[in-house]
Structure 1
Amino acid sequence: MSALSLSNVLTFAGSMALQLAMICLLPMTRGYTSLLPTLVVLVCMNVGFWLFARVLESGAPLGMLIPVSATMIPLGAIAVGVIAYDEPMSWTRGGLLLASAGLVGLASRF
């Protein structure tokens, strides 16, 4: 299987979606004291990491996947926080977030 096959891209997208779901559901666990949300978070985390490992095992480049996931998950978590949890989004916070995502992207090129 080639490193950038459609199967790998879809598996990677599923992994990112599950990891983002895990992060977004953490407040519902109430510090891991609420059983059902805690179980959902643990399943999302483990299946998401397993999918990520499967993509790496198939030969996809680690140097590409880590920077992409390092930018997608925080950006997605902040977007969900602002949209779903009504967290404030200042221009400073947004600018710093985009700058850090840009720096991760730039660092992955070297």
Structure 2
Amino acid sequence: MGNISLGVVGMVIGSLVFQLVGIFLLPMTRGFTDPLPTLGSALGFLIGIGFLARLSTSGMNISILIPLISALNPLGALVIGVLVYGDSAPFAKIAMLVTACVLIGVAGIV
């Protein structure tokens, strides 16, 4: 996998943050009919995926990178949904999501 530098960690966090910004803005786009939130959401996703592309070309192993981001995105989306949009968060839903994310993360390491 190579060395994990501070820059790599920053790009992973940046990718996650920008993708979560895209997720946060999705309901505001009203089905991509409101131009400003649509632009913000699209840019969030584009920049987040751009960070992943840069990470993969820098030598980071995508078999770890993609499962890591894939495990963290749903957890972030759950937090945004509950805290910002008032989604329900029954224990069973949270437990299943956390379990699935842990399994995805472990599968990426093995």
Give the TM-score normalised by the residue count of structure 1. Answer: 0.92
Equivalences for 1:47-62 in 2 at 5 Å? 47-62=47-62
> CA–CA distance in 1 between the matches of 2:11 and 2:106?
25
Misfit runs of 4+, over 4 Å: none
Alignment root-mean-square deviation, CA: 1.2
Q: Does 1:7 align with 2:7?
A: yes
Is the partner of 1:86 in helix, strand or coil? coil
> CA–CA distance in 2 between the matches of 1:30 and 1:23?
13
> Cα distance, 1:3 vs. partner?
4.0
Q: Number of matched residues?
A: 109
Is the partner of 1:67 in helix, strand or coil? helix
Is the partner of 1:65 in helix, strand or coil? helix
Give the TM-score normalised by the residue count of structure 2. Answer: 0.92
- Which amino acid in the other structure matches residue 107 of structure 2? A
| Structure 1 unmatched runs, 5+ | none
Equivalences for 1:1-110 in 2 at 5 Å? 3-110=3-110
> Cα distance, 1:31 vs. partner?
0.2
Is the partner of 1:59 in helix, strand or coil? coil
> Cα distance, 1:51 vs. partner?
1.2
- Which amino acid in the other structure matches residue 46 of structure 1? L
In the TM superposition, what whole-angstrom CA distance separates every residue of 1:54-110 from its partner, at most 9, and x where no partner exists? 111100111111111011100000011001111111011011111111211232233
Is the partner of 2:109 in helix, strand or coil? coil
Distance 1:55 1:109, change over 3 A: closer
